[in-house]
Structure 1
Amino acid sequence: MKAQSYWYRYLLAVGLMGAIANLCLGQGIDADVEPGASSPKEIQIPTVQLNPTTPSSPTPVSSPVTIARRISNEPADVAAMNQHDNSAGTGADRAVPTAHGNKGGATPQTENLPLDKASLLQIRKQQLGKPEFRGAWVTRFDWVSPNAEQMRSKIVQIMDLAKAAGLNAVVFQVRADASTFYPSELEPWSHLIGGRDPGFDPVQFAIDEAHKRGLEFHAYINAMPCSEKKEGPSDPRHIWFRHCTAQSNPNWLVYEGGKPAEFKEYWWLNPNLPEVQTYVRMVVLDFATRYNVDGIHYDRIRFPGPKVSDDPWSLARFRNGANPKSLNYNEWQCENITKMLCDIYGAVIAVKPNIKFTAAVWGIHDKTRMPQGNDRAIGYSWTSSGLQDYHQDSIGWTKRGCIDALIPMIYWEMGDKKPDYDELLAYFVQNAANDRHIYGGQKVFNDVEMLRQAVATQLVGGKGTCPFTLMRVHEKGLIGFYRSAIFPDDVPTPPMPWKTQPSKAVVLVTVKDQKGMPVLDAYVKTPGRSDVWLSSADGFCAILDAEPGSNVTVTAEKDGVGRGVSESFNAIPGKPARVTVVLK
């Protein structure tokens, strides 16, 4: 009860109780490796002559931008994997063969691919004309500025570039580190934008500019970073000052060695804590409710490393009733991220059912299921992977239905040593459940390699591509090549029938005690299933895969609080049901 009272008071203090009541309770380069910030020069948009049947040479860009960028704090394994960069933009004639077998690719579908550009172009022509996700990441470093007019200009130029490249979607960053690039009552303006209202809503402006050009707008949100400043944020409205200090109980930061983990690109929030899970859900729900976006895109949706978090609050939950599946600690940490994503998905689709959820995830999901060995011509044993090193079970998210598409950050080419883009993408395609889409997240290489990866993506069953970043495509002079060779026709993004014609029902549950207070970590169950859902800090949990039926009930119980059963309801696909369970 003490923890529940704390959270209730916190919600009242920040003015979220009404939002929860109305929206949740039914009452009324991650891109993981990001470049250092710099100020781009004005973007020059190339003029592209379209000829789908005879792709032209890359159109030169007048006064090309030469923006000096670097990879900050690049993980050692990523640096090693990119020793063979193949980074020149235009002018390459042949792709690099694999180190093992000297082949055109590393999968049965791609091993016989030709290496010359002309032959790859002919294969690509045969793949055109059907829906495909043609996106690109746009980071905060590409457009944010304290100068309002510069921001407007950059946004317009970026959307012009996206259209010129033949894209049909932009993955556009709107939030970085618990601060925003849009007006919010929950979080302060980012210091990158000057820490104040710029006099207009930059994100609404970007959405409007994208939609004017027929581009889907996927709002790119850094989920778990708390602050990108080593000294911490300066704005007193930031959650840092309420929940990340030595006096905070619980402290919302991840711990390592019994104290907040060392600063690594960011100070990181701890998804093991129900308070953090609920807070992130409120932020995403607030944004999705207020903006007409096509998608929500998570980045940094993971822990910062394999040894976190050993904080006392996480350990207490793990040992005292918040582990109904009897998982080991690392599995339990993975489950906490998945649970948070399930709750966000359910809360958002109840008010905006068509929003698509995507995530930038580690490019190697589980290295133990890849070819083994430390010989980099054949094996992956030397690499890091999402499951083992970042407690990120992205494939598990597809099984639970809390994500619509994964964008694994496969920032490696298809040739030379491991990792291989096509082999890793094929793993995600083969293991994703419920027909969820896989889009290849790419590093920007030269023209022939980007063409080969586009071809390979379709051959292994991927539904599209997303290079990191649109500005890097431009900087390497590839905008014209994209339009003339890779995306010469206009197609929509691929359909998601589980959203338009769902077969499962969504049930949004709120658990309370007899005094009307939210109950944390209650066990929520549905008849005929052994699955257990846990209620969060505000008593909320989302069941995303309930079987359709009439006169359905939900039960909840918690030791020391009581047990309860909901009123009966109809579980109907496409119509989320909201129910309350009172424990007595």
Structure 2
Amino acid sequence: MLKKLLAGIMLCGGLATQCYAQLPPKREMRAVWIASVGNIDWPSRKGLPAGQQKQELMNMLDDIVRDGMNAVFFQVRPAADALYASSYEPWSEYLSGSQGRPPEPYYDPLQFAIEESHKRGLELHAWFNPYRAVMNTRSNVLAPNHISRLRPQWFLQYGDQKLFDPGLPEVRDYFTQIIRDVVKRYDVDGIHFDDYFYPYRIAGKEFPDNPSYRIYGRNMNKDDWRRWNVDTLMHQVSIAIKAEKPWVKFGISPFGVWRNRDRDPEGSNTRGGMTNYDDLYADILKWSRSGWIDYATPQLYWEFGHRLVGYEVLVNWWSQHAYGRHMYPGLAVYKIGESGAWRNPREMLNQINANRSLPTVQGSVFFRARSFDSNPLGIRDSLRNHLYKYPALIPTMPWLDNTPPMPPYFIDAFEKSSGLELHWADDDTTGQTTRYVIYRFGEKEVVNLNDPTKIAAIVPQMPDPMWVDPKYVPGTHFVYFVTALDRLQNESLASDALRMQTVNGRTKFLFE
């Protein structure tokens, strides 16, 4: 498998146009992280008026759609704070500039982000940091209702940060409540955690969890106990999410190395200085095997040929450890143009093509949104004009739901100065349908609904569904089909065809 992957990447690197000529996948996760911590993506700075915050986010989402993406991972809890209306935690300082103060004029950023994302056909996964409570205890000014003030016994100081103690049952219950509350009140498509479980190690400094270990250690060695704590939180959260809304996805973005092979024969052939299992106490493979999570997004932020952690080694390893769940490698857009291999404009394109070449990898996720702004080495042009030129549906998750909605049917068509106005309807009374896919073919083309280049539009569900085809001009004979999608991207059977016939110089529409 690895030799085939390398051969494919070499072909793509040397003959990029051949890669572009291949038919792109019809289904592929194409997501981007929108980070709020430190205002690195959104909002651009603290204290912006609500109107500017909204406009920045709308502009960002418009660019994300133009880049060919179909999902965003939106950070809503950087450090026991909230970019949404929470009765548990204070408003994030990254909004107003002062923790605990809401945006002015008031609005709910998460609700706004969901609405604007869904208008544009994007999934929104709410991104949480589980254990981080205070980014910097020397400089952060905490609101009176910050949980570290109300429950100081739950927290440990490590370096400049204050962290929840993962060994405390009360901490697990509290965080599960946080997640359950968001899933219950907001129309999120997914819940997403990043790689910060137990903290990244500080040289010569042990994480100070001996008190909770003495009380709750379960006669386990400390490393196994720490993994048990994280496992228990993950299982608890997974159950809570599905109890509230079975369709909400749960995904993790782990550090890129699970374990090195010199520590475990199941590990990757790498020499990473840190690993999920041994340093962050996150046994991501167990969570996938157990069905607690729906997808993994390992942060593979290294280049092909890296002497310790080569991209080709890691993407191949993760592809073999998906256990039937989705795998979307995380890619380092922020590194493009920096040095070495990252000065090669093909590096990122080769990584995307590598992901596409593996049958158990269903897409890519990019860190992070603002990194695209300067179009480093033309990455934005490459996505818009080549790799992501055509839309892609998000891959289905049959273990959550595999029942498609009712098929729609065309009811009318009108020639307008702006193009051909199509109208359709369906008999879905269950509310399953969330959007529609319009396919357009030339009159004599072979109909292939698996060809994404024939997707003319993906249209949100509306009371009287319609779409105007701007490519239609009188006298052209297209053939159209429409299908329905539910919120888990299950696709209905196709409608009957809408065809055209010219009779006495006039176009007649045939609903077959």
TM-score, normalisation: structure 2: 0.69
Cα distance change, pair 276–127 in 1 and its aligned pair in 2 (3 A): farther
Moved more, 381-390 or 353-362: 381-390
Amino acid at match of 1:367: N
The reply on whether 1:437 has 2:326 as its aligned counterpart is yes
- Give 1:149 shift: 1.9
Question: What is the CA distance between 1:131 and its match in structure 2?
Answer: 0.9
Residue equivalent to 1:17: none
| CA distance, structure 1, for counterparts of residue 21 and residue 312 of structure 2 | 19
Rounded to whole Å, the distance in 2 between the matches of 1:463 and 1:469 is 19
Q: Does 1:451 align with 2:349?
A: yes
Counterpart-to-counterpart distance in 1, 2:318 and 2:154: 32
**In the TM superposition, what is the alpha-carbon distance from 1:310 to its structure 2 partner?**
2.8
Partner of 1:225: 132
Deviation for aligned residue 1:403:
0.9
For the pair 1:159 / 2:61, whether they are aligned, the reply is yes
**Aligned-pair CA distance for 1:283:** 0.5
Match of 2:291 among 392, 398, 401: 401
CA contact (8 A) 2:213 2:222 kept: no
Partner of 1:238: 146
Residues 111-170 of structure 1, C-alpha deviations (whole Å, 9 max, x = no match)? 213266562342354351321110011101211242212211110011011101000111
Aligned to 2:309: 419
Q: Higher mean Cα deviation, 163-172 or 125-134? A: 125-134
Q: Which residue of 1 aligns with 2:102?
A: 197
* Conserved? CA contact 2:271–2:309, under 8 Å: no
Letter of the 2:246 partner, please give it: P
Structure having greater relative contact order (Cα 8 Å, sep ≥ 6): 1
Structure 2, unmatched stretches of 5+, are 337-343, 404-512
Contact 1:171 1:297 in 2 (8 A): yes
* Secondary structure at the counterpart of residue 125 of structure 2: strand
> Which residue of 8, 32, 44 maps to 1:136?
32
1:169 aligns with 2:66: no
In structure 1, how many angstroms separate the alpha carbons of the residues matched to 2:385 and 2:272?
A: 39
Identity percentage over the alignment? Answer: 30
Distance 1:273 1:393 in 2: 19
Q: Secondary structure at the match of 1:229?
A: coil
Matches of 1:466 and 1:370 in 2, distance apart?
A: 29
Conservation of the 8 A alpha-carbon contact between 2:255 and 2:299 = yes
Match of 2:162 in 1: 267
State the Cα RMSD in Å: 2.3
1:289 maps to a residue whose letter is: K
Q: Which residue does the alignment assign to 2:388?
A: 487
Matched residue, 1:496: 397
Structure 2 residue matching 1:498: 3-state secondary structure:
coil
Give the Cα separation in 1 of the matches to 2:13 and 2:271.
32
- The amino acid that maps onto 1:154 is E
Q: Are the structure 2 counterparts of residues 160 and 370 from structure 1 closer, same or farther at C-alpha, using a change threshold of 3 Å?
A: farther
Are the structure 2 counterparts of residues 428 and 327 from structure 1 closer, same or farther at C-alpha, using a change threshold of 3 Å? farther
Q: Specify the code of the residue in structure 1 equivalent to 2:389.
A: P
Contact (CA 8 Å) 2:6, 2:312: kept in 1 or not?
A: no
CA distance in 2, matches of 1:204, 1:481: 32
Residue in structure 1 matched with residue 216 of structure 2 by the alignment = 317
Match of 1:343 in 2: 236
One-letter code aligned to 1:469: R
* Aligned partner of 1:387 among 269, 277, 280: 277
Using the alignment, how far apart are the partners of 2:174 and 2:23 within structure 1? Answer: 43
Per-residue deviation, residues 421-477 of structure 1 (Å, max 9, x unmatched): 2311221221232x0111111111354111101110122331110111121123225
The CA distance in 2 between the partners of 1:436 and 1:369, in whole Å, is: 26
Distance 1:252 1:229, change over 3 A: same
Unaligned runs of 5+ residues in structure 1 are 1-105, 245-250, 255-259, 373-377, 503-584
Cα distance, 1:428–1:119 mapped onto 2, change above 3 Å = same
The verdict on how the C-alpha distance between 1:189 and 1:365 changes in structure 2, with shifts beyond 3 A counting, is: same
Q: Check conservation: 1:175, 1:221, Cα contact below 8 A.
A: yes
2:177 is aligned to 282
Q: Which residue in 2 is equivalent to 1:515? A: none
Say yes or no: does 1:208 pair with 2:104.
no
- Tell me if structure 2 keeps the 8 A contact 1:227–1:233: no
Q: How many residues matched?
A: 372
Give distance in 2, aligned partners of 1:272 and 1:448. 45
